Amino acid sequence: MLMNEFVRFERRGLDVSDPYGNPQRAWAEIVALRVSVLEQTGREAIAAGRLESTRLATVRFPPPPGIVALTDADRMIWRGQVCKIISVGRFGKGSWGMEVLVEIGGAI
């Protein structure tokens, strides 16, 4: 497995206030690591007669020490783009690796 991409996983952090006192939830980094990314190209969906701009990618990596779990409530930053986590699973003999399916280009 060629791990040639660098990504950052983030989770909603504690509530913070903006300068006007309005509560906001900030994203906090869980872990940043090298991964293998396989984009699924050529599957542009058509909705309401026009192409959608989202695409899927499969991200694989050995679980880093100290990470408890990733969920679909977290997000991934890859090449400056925010990616929505669709599912999290395991792969390999003995389920030693983590596999994350993400949607790139959609609303988070």
pLDDT given at position 68: 67
Whole-model pTM? Answer: 0.78
> Six-digit token pair at 9?
């996983």
Stretch 82-101: mean pLDDT: 87
pLDDT tier at 13, thresholds 50, 70, 90 = confident
Mean pLDDT over 66-91 rounds to 88
31-62 pLDDT, tens digit per residue, is 899 999 998 876 666 655 666 678 899 999 98
How long is the chain? 108
In the DSSP assignment, the letter for residue 48 is: T
Which three-class secondary structure state does DSSP give residue 95? helix
- Write out the two tokens for 66: 């100290």
Please determine, for residue 76, whether its predicted confidence score (pLDDT) is greater than 90: yes
